[in-house]
Amino acid sequence: MNRGVALLVALLVAVSTVTMATASVAATIDDGSNTTIEADAEVDSGTSLETTADAETETTLTTQSGSDAGAQSSAYAGATVAFDVQGDAITDYRVGGERTFASVAVQSQSETDSSSSGGLDGSLGLEAAANLNGAGLSVTSQTQASAQVTAESGATLSAHDTQHGTLVVESGGESQYVKADLAAEAQASEAGDRVLVETDNRTGVFLVVGDGKVGITDGNVTADLGANATLAFRSYAEGERDERAKYQESLIAEGNAAVSVTAQQRNGKLVTDAVTYGQETSANVSQTAENKVNVTIDRAVHKGTVVMTTVSEEAVGSLENLSVRINGEAAVKASSKSELESAIGGDQSRYMVVQDAQAEGQATVYIAVNHFSTRTVTIDGGSGADSGAGDDGSSGGDSSGGSGDSTPGFGVGVAIIAISMAALRARLER
C-alpha cells in the first residue's frame, strides 16, 4: 500500500508539472503578441512553435567603431543578402553572392542643394538625386531574415534575406531622393516606369509605389519619392523573372499588393519574413500550429489588398490541400486573376494558389483581403479532413481529434493521467 501511495504522489506531481508547463506556453504566446492571433489554440506536444524572434538566427550583424568620433560601420550577412552600413550609405550590397550596388544613399529633398532640386513636378528631380549627400544611417533592428536601417532624413531602408533579396526604401512623411551607385559588374536599363539591373546571373527590378519615379542618371539608379512613397528592389536568379514574377511586380507598383510573405524551411528551421510596400501597412508572420502559417496585417486604410505568400511544403504540410481563412472565416477560391483582384473592396475575400515552376515543393498563395484594418490570414496545408474542420466559422485553430472545445494543451496530459490512474488502481486491488 505504501508503494501505491508513493506512486499516487508522484502522479500528482506530474499533473502539476504538465499544468504549469501548459500555462507557461500560453503565457509566453500571449505576452509576445499584440495581434488577434489565437496562438494558444490546440497547442499540444506535437506542435512546433517557431517564430522569427524565437528561432535560431542564421544571419550575422557586426558593428565596428571607426577612428572618427561617432563613426560606425555595420556588416550584415544572411543566406542570400549581404551588405555593410557605413555612415551615410548602405555599401557592397550583394544578392546570391553577386555584387549589385556599390552604395545606396538617401536624403530628404529639403536638405538637398536647392539649386539642383526640381522636385516631383520638375525636370531636375532625378538629377538632384545624383548629387545628394546621404543622410546618416543606423541599423535599428534585425530579425532572422531582415534588417532595418533608419536614416536621419526620416526614411527607412529594409533589406530582406529571401530569394529575391528585396530592398525597400520608404520615404516617410517627407519627400526623399535615393541614389544607388551600381557595382562595376552591374548594368542598368529603363523598362517603362521601372529600372532593370543586371549582373552575371541575376536580374533586379526597381519600382515605385505611390508618388514618385525612378530612372537612370549618369549610369546609376536615382529615385524621386514623394511623402509616404516606396522604392522597392527585387532580384531574380537567371530564368526566375517569368510572367508570374512580372504579375507580382504589377500588383506591387499599382498599389494592389501591399504585403509579400515567405514561410520556408532553412536548415531544418522555419524562416518567415514579411515585406510591406508602404501604404501604412505592417505585417507579422508566425506558425502557431503544425502545417499552419498565420499572417497578421495591420493597415491604417480601409481599402483591401493582395497578400502574396510564398510557402514551402515543409511549412504547410501539403500544397495540394491548402485552405485560407481570414479572421477564422473561409476565403473563397478564385479561378482567375481578375476574379482574385475583384475581391478587393468586395463582399468576400478570395485566394488563388500557383505552383512555383522554378522551385519544387513551393507555391505562391495570392490572398485578396477585401477590407481592413487588422486581419489575420491563416494558411492551412493539413490533410483534407483537417482543413475541412472548423467550417462553422470558428477561429483558425488546429481542430484535430475533435478537441476544439477542450482547454488548450491539456488533451494529451489528461489522457496520460487517466491511463496511469487505471494502472495504479489495478495494482492496488491486487
Q: Is 162 within a domain?
A: yes
Are residues 221 and 189 in contact, defined by beta-carbon separation less than 8 angstroms? no
Q: Which domain holds residue 184?
A: 71-241
Asked which of 331-335, 363-367, 385-389, 420-424 is least confident by mean pLDDT, the reply is 385-389
Are residues 35 and 376 in contact, defined by beta-carbon separation less than 8 angstroms? yes
- With b for 16 or more beta-carbon neighbours within 10 A and e for fewer, the 337-367 pattern comes to beebbebbeeeebbbbbeebeeeeebbbbbb
Q: Is 131 within a domain?
A: yes
Q: Model pTM?
A: 0.74
275's CB contacts (< 8 A; 6+ apart) are 158, 160, 162, 166, 168, 232, 259, 260, 261
Beta bridge partners of 104: 90, 180
Q: Is 132 within a domain?
A: yes
pLDDT band at 386 (very low <50, low <70, confident <90, very high): very low
Q: Is 63 within a domain?
A: no
Give percent above pLDDT 90 in the chain. 58
Phi and psi at 316, nearest 5°, equal -115, 0
Mean pLDDT (the chain, rounded): 77
Q: Is 424 within a domain?
A: no
Q: Is 296 within a domain?
A: no
- Does pLDDT of 298 surpass 50? yes
Asked which of 10-14, 131-135, 225-229, 367-371 is least confident by mean pLDDT, the reply is 10-14
DSSP letters along 121-167, please?
TSTTHHHHHHTPPPPPEEEEEEETTEEEEEETTS-EEEEE-STT--E
Q: What single letter denotes the amino acid at residue 423?
A: A
Give percent above pLDDT 70 in the chain. 69
- CA-to-CA distance for 33 and 45, rounded, in angstroms? 21
Q: What single letter denotes the amino acid at residue 292?
A: K
Q: Is 226 within a domain?
A: yes
- CA-to-CA distance for 139 and 152, rounded, in angstroms? 12
Asked which of 197-206, 208-217, 374-383 is least confident by mean pLDDT, the reply is 374-383
Element (H, E) at 73: strand 72-77
User: Grid cell 489528461 — which residue?
Assistant: 414
HSE toward the beta carbon, residue 326, CA cutoff 13 A: 25
Q: What single letter denotes the amino acid at residue 399?
A: S
Task: Give 120-144 pLDDT, tens digit per residue.
Answer: 444 467 888 998 999 999 999 998 8
pLDDT band at 390 (very low <50, low <70, confident <90, very high): very low
Are residues 299 and 280 in contact, defined by beta-carbon separation less than 8 angstroms? yes
Per-residue confidence (pLDDT) for residue 144, from 0 to 100: 86
- With b for 16 or more beta-carbon neighbours within 10 A and e for fewer, the 216-245 pattern comes to bbeebbbbbbbbbbbbbbbbbbeebbeebb
Task: Give 8-60 pLDDT, tens digit per residue.
Answer: 344 444 444 434 443 333 333 333 333 222 222 222 333 232 333 333 334 56
Mean pLDDT of 178-185: 97
Element (H, E) at 369: strand 362-371
Number of domains composing the chain: 1
Coil, strand, or helix at residue 200?
Answer: coil
Number of H helices, E strands in the chain: 7, 28
Per-residue confidence (pLDDT) for residue 168, from 0 to 100: 98
- CA-to-CA distance for 387 and 322, rounded, in angstroms? 8
Q: Is 277 within a domain?
A: no
Per-residue confidence (pLDDT) for residue 94, from 0 to 100: 98
More confident residue, 382 or 244: 244
